[in-house]
Chain A
């Protein structure tokens, strides 16, 4: 039993879980926030909102899924809510990966070896995608396999596999036109 004024055990556990999660997934959450929000100030707010949601959620984390799945689900869900709100406020349209495949690439000719330029274009590309396509491509870029992506997103394994195949195609065409898959 905790003494009066002492921090309850559940709160300590919540804090400890959060600290571990922030240390392990902090950079990934920052990359995720960047993929959902281009404007730096708003992005910091979004990242803060994600961190707070993760911390709060650990009060009820029961281990039914892995901690990684839990954290990514929270991060994507908070960010998706943000995108829906922003889109409503700014009237922005989002497009699917399939539609993105048909859009012309605005790059000027030859293959670029500049990683920063590629990253900027990749970010711009992701920020235009619909939430579910965005979740799949971000999970893929973070190095998650199809099963893990399915667990986070709830998408069928077949659907995720198809999406990953398309993502590879689109990335190859846009960023490595001279190379094969």
Chain B
């Protein structure tokens, strides 16, 4: 018969659990820190590959169009996509200086991570959706200038309507995520130091 309390029994089970005993020498740390930096760079490259493909696609379209209005539309789309990618990189990056991880409490860190994510998704219009709108509109105008037949205009209205619905869907989805994150931030208030 043991006289262990649940407290010391669970703490004992926890602290005595087998571990692999993974050790990293200082030399290994130096080497892996360098490799880790490269890994982060490649991860960023992969993340922005989709944007790069879109830019290349519009770039080819730009080169293949001799109409100045069409060229302006593709140039605007390229600029808009590049701006979105830049903002994604700027707002989405969560890399911090190592000392920041130790000087602030875990609660401060968690709160700042949640706030950063909330700010990212709270209003996606100015930085995620709107930048490509001028290019899309000018592309539609170019298309109508070249072909004013009713069926063509109707098809454009249909496709642009779908794009508009998609934009509203993305906006609403992000706004909902922002509200959820805000609730999580509000919940932290009760736990903070007086």
Q: Which residues of A contact B (CB under 8 A)?
A: 15, 18-19, 22, 26-27, 30-31, 34, 44, 47-49, 51-53, 55-57, 59-61, 64-65, 70-71, 73-74, 76-78, 80-81, 84, 115, 118-119, 122, 131-132, 135, 140-143, 150-156, 159, 168, 171-172, 175-176, 179, 181
Contact flag A76-B10 (CB < 8 Å), given A57-B101, A156-B191: no
CB of A179 to closest CB in B, whole Å: 6
Most buried by A among B5, B22, B188, B192: B22
Contact with B14, one of A131, A142, A176 (Cβ below 8 angstroms): A142
Query: Which residues of B are found within 8 Å of A77, using beta-carbon distances?
Result: 101, 104, 106, 109-110
Complex Cα distance A74/B26, Å?
18
> Can you report 20 residue pairs joining A to B where beta carbons are below 8 Å apart?
A30-B19, A30-B21, A31-B14, A31-B19, A48-B36, A51-B24, A51-B29, A52-B36, A57-B99, A73-B104, A73-B109, A76-B106, A77-B101, A77-B109, A80-B113, A153-B106, A154-B107, A155-B107, A155-B191, A159-B190
Tier of interface size on chain B: 35 or more
Please tell me if the beta carbons of B102 and A179 are within 8 angstroms of each other in the complex: no
Please tell me if the beta carbons of A142 and B15 are within 8 angstroms of each other in the complex: yes
Complex Cα distance A132/B19, Å?
24
Q: Which residues of B contact A (CB under 8 A)?
A: 5-7, 9-11, 13-15, 17, 19-24, 26, 29, 32-33, 36, 94, 98-99, 101-110, 113, 117, 188, 190-194
Please tell me if the beta carbons of A150 and B106 are within 8 angstroms of each other in the complex: no
Please tell me if the beta carbons of B104 and A78 are within 8 angstroms of each other in the complex: no
Please tell me if the beta carbons of B103 and A53 are within 8 angstroms of each other in the complex: no
CB of A108 to closest CB in B, whole Å: 19
Most buried by A among B9, B102, B109: B102
Complex Cα distance A81/B100, Å?
13
Closest 4 CB pairs between A and B?
Answer: A154-B105, A154-B107, A56-B98, A60-B99
CB of A92 to closest CB in B, whole Å: 14
Please tell me if the beta carbons of A153 and B107 are within 8 angstroms of each other in the complex: yes
Chain A residue nearest in CB terms to B116:
A84
Please tell me if the beta carbons of B101 and A132 are within 8 angstroms of each other in the complex: no
Chain A residue nearest in CB terms to B188:
A132
Complex Cα distance A78/B102, Å?
10
Contact with A74, one of B9, B19, B101 (Cβ below 8 angstroms): B101
Complex Cα distance A51/B191, Å?
28
Please tell me if the beta carbons of A122 and B10 are within 8 angstroms of each other in the complex: yes
Given known contacts A19-B26, A64-B103, what 17 new A-B pairs fall within 8 Å (CB)? Answer: A27-B21, A48-B24, A52-B29, A55-B26, A57-B98, A65-B102, A70-B102, A84-B113, A131-B110, A152-B106, A153-B105, A153-B106, A154-B107, A171-B6, A171-B10, A172-B6, A179-B5
Complex Cα distance A48/B106, Å?
19
Chain A residue nearest in CB terms to B9:
A176
Please tell me if the beta carbons of A175 and B9 are within 8 angstroms of each other in the complex: yes
CB of A181 to closest CB in B, whole Å: 7
Chain B residue nearest in CB terms to A67:
B102
CB of B191 to closest CB in A, whole Å: 5
Please tell me if the beta carbons of A119 and B23 are within 8 angstroms of each other in the complex: no
